[in-house]
Amino acid sequence: MKKFIFSRESMENSYLTIGTVHLDHLKKEATIESYLGASSEMYMSKDHLYLAVQKANKQPRRKRMLETEVLPPITKTEIMQFIISDGKVVYNTSATVPGRLLNQFAMDEQKDTFRVATTVGQSWERTASKNNLYTFDLNMKQLGAIEGLAPGEEIFSVRFMEDVAYMVTFEQIDPLFVIDLQDPTKPTVLGELEIPGFSDYLHPLDQHHLIGVGQQTELIKQKGNREPLVKMAGVKISLFDVRDRANPQEKNNLIVGDGNSYSTISYNHKALYKHPEKSLFGIPVTLYKTKKVSNKHQVFEDEVFDKDGLLLLNITAKDGIIQQAFITHQTEKTIYQDWEKEISRAISVGDFLYTFSLSDIHVFDLNNMDTVHQISVPFDSSY
């Protein structure tokens, strides 16, 4: 059964579709509802589904004509709440917050409170960007807020853990904010940590430790410019100790690669591998080396491909970050990356690790990291 709900007030030219399937009765017809307006991010709790729709505050035409400088529209986000009950998803209510959401981790529901983090503006705009956190009850009535965090910076990652929010902002250096949410009417910044680089994905190790995956950075002084140049300097994996919420610490870190090396976890958290029983994590990375190249006129830096694969790390609160192995699907040393062999997923079954790329599946013995088997997957390179 499909139901399409139309709102004459909507200005959207696209729509979203929500469908439910009863897993105990797979032959039963699915329930499908469609709504005008597309969602950029989604978060789901046990009882609610939240969809975030980014919107623009359009300036009146006459006001725009009087402006000597064309400014980007100020954005806001409408968060729609749906109730999940008896296999049905029913629209309930919505609320609007200033700014935009980074991703699904910017939303969270804990007990009877919904929390959301946003960035207003861009760091390069004439008016400095700022970052906010809002709390709502389950009827989407605002309870509290923190506004104006880290002016001139943008949110790079957020993680809610029970009654605490961890937020990373960045422009030249990485502040990790620890925000107390025990009283949702009075969210409070308890502490912050400033370190080089930034984490654009945060993953809880335990109640008192966080893993951060992102980039190491260096600040390069520029002649004739007061502001330094921010240079990427490799993939950075950090272990944060947040037992003392007023004084968070980076307990340990590992930096691999140079320059614009990256991990797909930065934009797709599903690429992270975690062993179901051991403290073994897998971080897919593509690594570059920075080399100095000279000609008759100057010496400059050039980045060349080094390797890509799965970086296997043992991460514990006691011992920090210890590299265990680096496994790859690349078969030959070349100056260019075989992107179809880039490892995108890994899973483990017993003592065996299975790694997947577009063109190959490899099986490794976790006891010695020897290759047990590998097969090629039919792959259309023209796709």
For 269, phi and psi rounded to 5 degrees? Answer: -65, -20
Question: What pLDDT does 374 receive?
Answer: 92
Q: CA-to-CA distance for 23 and 274, rounded, in angstroms?
A: 27
Label residue 71 by pLDDT band (50, 70, 90). Answer: very low
Q: List the end-to-end C-alpha distance of the chain, in Å, as a whole number.
A: 35
Residue 167 has pLDDT above 50, yes or no: yes
Q: What is the DSSP letter of 65?
A: H
- Beta-carbon contacts of 232 under 8 Å, excluding residues fewer than 6 positions away, are 215, 216, 217, 259, 260, 261
Residue 8 has pLDDT above 50, yes or no: no
In contact, 265 and 272? CB cutoff 8 Å: yes
Question: What pLDDT does 3 receive?
Answer: 52
Residue 292 has pLDDT above 90, yes or no: no
Could you give the percent of the chain with pLDDT greater than 90? 57
Q: Which tens digits make up the pLDDT trace of 10-43?
A: 556 777 888 888 888 888 888 888 877 677 789 9
Q: Which tens digits make up the pLDDT trace of 9-18?
A: 455 677 788 8
Label residue 123 by pLDDT band (50, 70, 90). Answer: low
Residue 135 has pLDDT above 80, yes or no: yes
Question: What pLDDT does 65 receive?
Answer: 47
**Other Cβ atoms within 10 Å of 106 Cβ, number:** 26
Give the residue with greater pLDDT, 215 vs 298.
Answer: 215
Across-strand partners of 81? Answer: 50, 93
What number is the average pLDDT over the span 60-82? 64
Sequence-distant contacts of 103-108: CB under 8 A, at least 24 apart: 103/41, 104/41, 104/42, 104/43, 105/157, 105/158, 105/159, 105/160, 105/202, 105/269, 106/41, 106/155, 106/158, 107/41, 107/43, 107/50, 107/52, 107/79, 108/43, 108/160, 108/165
In contact, 366 and 380? CB cutoff 8 Å: no
What number is the average pLDDT over the span 69-87? 77
Query: Which of 51-60, 136-145, 170-179, 330-339 is modeled with the greatest confidence?
Result: 136-145
Task: State the DSSP H helix or E strand holding residue 61, giving kind and residue range, or none if neither.
Answer: helix 61-66
